[in-house]
A and B are shown apart, each in its own frame.
Chain A
Amino acid sequence: MQRTDMTETPLHASEFRRIMKVLFSRGVVVFGIVVILALFVTAIFAPWIAPYDPYKLDLNQTLVQPCKEHLLGTDALGRDTLSRIIFGTRTSLMVGVVAVCIAASVGMTMGLIAGYFGRWVHAIIMRFIDALMAFPVILLALVIAVLLGGGLRNVMIALGIGLLPAYARLMCGQVLSVKENDYFLAGRAMGAGNLRIMFRHVVPNCFPPLIVLITMMMGLTILAEAGLSFLGIGIEPPGAAWGAMVNDGYQYLLTHPILSFAPGFAIMLVVFSFNMVGDGLRDALDPRLRGVL
């Protein structure tokens, strides 16, 4: 009966353990976690895992179809596709993680301040965000990358700024909706300071959709980096990045589809894994689902 389960459920000895349990109770989430961990391991140990030097040209072995020596074939310059994908993990993950971190931290801070203080603070910040939003992400990143110059670091900054409005908007909306709750008023009524209310009550309750956005953006960023590389800003050849590889292979799509498909599949796998983990995290962190899951 309801009454008894109120008092008989054992205390949560460790909230962390419960979160982990929920997280690992769903197959796809575990799959996502495994894939992401595997990718990080791959990125770190790339030189040891890759069968060939990803930059070494072998003009005798151009456009080899997948075979025993080259599991995923070679590209137009005779570089081993598998090795390039393995090395590309480094660039792609780094771009994804760093750009999303920049976008999320700056964007969410702006959204938090705008939503929390409202009035003119909100007006100024959000008009700025609207202005940023008026440009397509790629175009914005392109302009910034041109201004800052090419290279991996600037691509990450450019993408970070380009993706920031989405976080600011979502965060601001979340803050506004959390502010409607009585517990926000309760905090004010007890005289809690702004910082306390912000970080104890507002931020934690804003997180769930943002976690999902962060994980989804991971994939988008990796794709955007590909676009920038294609436009000649970004990873400079011969550096290996998945997006660039998809674009390079695109010319041979009909004869050697593996050149685009293999890195494309890698991107898909990462995007899917991050999405699944994001989904799982959102459920695991939701206290309203305690006991249900």
Chain B
Amino acid sequence: MKSPSRNGKIVEVDDLKMYFPVTRGLLRHKVADVKAVDGVSFHIKRGETLGLVGESGSGKTTVGRCIMRLYQPTSGHIIFEGQDISQLSEHQMRPLRSRMSLIFQDPYGSLDPRQSAGSIVGEPLKVFHLANSRQEYRERVEELFRIVGLDPSMMDRVPHEFSGGQRQRIGVARALASNASLLICDEPISALDVSIQAQIINLLEELQERLKRLTYLFIAHDLSVVRHISDRIAVMYLGRIVEVTDRKTLYENPLHPYTKSLLSAVPVADPFLEEKRKRIILKGEIPSPLTPPSGCNFHPRCPMAISKCKKEVPPLRDTGGGHEVSCIRV
């Protein structure tokens, strides 16, 4: 439906909806929908890092998995490298899978405990027939180990014998193996020790510098990490994007009341600054995506809400310079 590869955008998501049916009874009839993603549109430029930030239940992981086509979206379009992949069959998807990879949160659950580290990293090479000989395969795996800062002599060990940080490096090496151009990092550091997190962040940054045109969709709940690594940031709340902007503007001039409260909720390791910061403490909790509020779904918790907010779904509109926000009050 769209012309291929415009404006160097590697991914374009247009009005993506992902509803998970809730079924009951023997015949599995549908009783309701969990609206995990409810009309999300954004794009990622080639070579940039887009941060997708939101709390649990905001649908950020689902967006990532829809792009990977691990889910069949309910509606909307996902254009990857100029091709609409939202309705492709698993068979049609397969060749495209070498160009996008996923990095997981849990460095323990994402590696098969019965495979050696080498065969985990080398698996995409086998799946996509990227090595012509045993020799080439081995060399390539060794190279991947070195790229992510692991000693190739550890290839024959199983994941259990590695530390959390090293396992996450194995996960990164696997994601790079098929020469993917898009890496979807789903909370890649939140399960790691504080002192190890920086190693993985730096690794991801170095890789992007070295392998030009590597694009990240960095999904996380920690705003300070997302701000550190991303060029642009999209903030999600209850299945919708409420604000998209570059990282500088996000911190200096956030517009959406949810973004503001999210920013103020993150403490900064500086007691002098903390004394002066204004704290916006949100009321209540994130509602269930099974029964989202009407209109702007943030209105029950919003300090700025007016009666109109209950009725209208605010569109994501550009306020200038690519700063998009979905709020009628700004």
A–B direct touch in complex (beta carbons closer than 8 A): yes
* A contact residues vs B (CB 8 Å cutoff): 2, 6-7, 9, 11-12, 181-183, 185-193, 196, 200-201, 204-205, 287-288, 290-291
Residues A190 and B110 in contact in the complex (CB < 8 Å), given A11-B153, A287-B158, A288-B160: no
Residues A191 and B127 in contact in the complex (CB < 8 Å), given A205-B114, A290-B160, A290-B161: yes
Cα-based distance from A187 to B96 in the complex (angstroms): 14
Which A residues touch B123, using CB under 8 A? 187, 190, 192, 200
Select which of B94, B102, B113, B114 is within 8 A of A185 by beta carbon.
Answer: B102
User: Please, could you name 5 A-B residue pairs with CB atoms under 8 Å apart, sorted by A?
Assistant: A186-B171, A190-B174, A191-B94, A191-B96, A201-B115
A12 touches B93 (CB 8 A): no
Q: What class of interface size applies to chain B in its complex with A?
A: 35 or more
Which B residues touch A11, using CB under 8 A? 153, 156-157
Kindly identify, within residues 152 to 167 of chain B, every residue whose CB is under 8 Å from any CB belonging to chain A: 153-154, 156-163, 166
B110's nearest neighbour on chain A, judged by CB, is: A182
Further 13 A-B residue pairs, CB within 8 A, beyond A2-B163, A186-B174: A7-B154, A9-B161, A11-B153, A181-B110, A186-B110, A189-B100, A189-B101, A190-B124, A192-B123, A200-B112, A201-B112, A205-B114, A290-B161
Cα-based distance from A132 to B171 in the complex (angstroms): 43
B119's nearest neighbour on chain A, judged by CB, is: A200
Kindly identify, within residues 80 to 126 of chain B, every residue whose CB is under 8 Å from any CB belonging to chain A: 93-98, 100-102, 104-106, 109-115, 123-124
A203's nearest neighbour on chain B, judged by CB, is: B114
* B contact residues vs A (CB 8 Å cutoff): 68, 70, 93-98, 100-102, 104-106, 109-115, 123-124, 127-128, 151, 153-154, 156-163, 166, 171, 174, 178
Minimum CB–CB distance for B253 against chain A, Å: 36
Select which of A7, A9, A191 is within 8 A of B97 by beta carbon.
Answer: A191
Cα-based distance from A55 to B153 in the complex (angstroms): 63
B112 touches A183 (CB 8 A): yes
B115 touches A185 (CB 8 A): no
Cα-based distance from A12 to B127 in the complex (angstroms): 26
Minimum CB–CB distance for A271 against chain B, Å: 28
B113 touches A288 (CB 8 A): yes
B127 touches A185 (CB 8 A): no
Minimum CB–CB distance for B123 against chain A, Å: 7
A192 touches B114 (CB 8 A): no
Minimum CB–CB distance for B29 against chain A, Å: 14
Cα-based distance from A183 to B174 in the complex (angstroms): 11
A2's nearest neighbour on chain B, judged by CB, is: B163
Which B residues touch A287, using CB under 8 A? 113-114, 158-160
A190 touches B127 (CB 8 A): yes
Chain B CB within 10 Å — which of A190, A192, A193, A196 has the most? A190
B106 touches A182 (CB 8 A): yes
B94's nearest neighbour on chain A, judged by CB, is: A191
Cα-based distance from A180 to B178 in the complex (angstroms): 24
B97 touches A189 (CB 8 A): yes
B113 touches A182 (CB 8 A): no
Cα-based distance from A290 to B93 in the complex (angstroms): 38
Cα-based distance from A286 to B115 in the complex (angstroms): 11
Chain A CB within 10 Å — which of B93, B100, B112, B113 has the most? B112
Which A residues touch B161, using CB under 8 A? 6, 9, 290-291
Which B residues touch A188, using CB under 8 A? 70
Which B residues touch A2, using CB under 8 A? 163
B95's nearest neighbour on chain A, judged by CB, is: A191
Which A residues touch B104, using CB under 8 A? 182, 185-186
A205 touches B102 (CB 8 A): no
A12 touches B124 (CB 8 A): no
Which A residues touch B158, using CB under 8 A? 287, 290
B102 touches A204 (CB 8 A): no
A205 touches B112 (CB 8 A): yes
Cα-based distance from A291 to B162 in the complex (angstroms): 12
Cα-based distance from A157 to B115 in the complex (angstroms): 35
A190 touches B97 (CB 8 A): yes
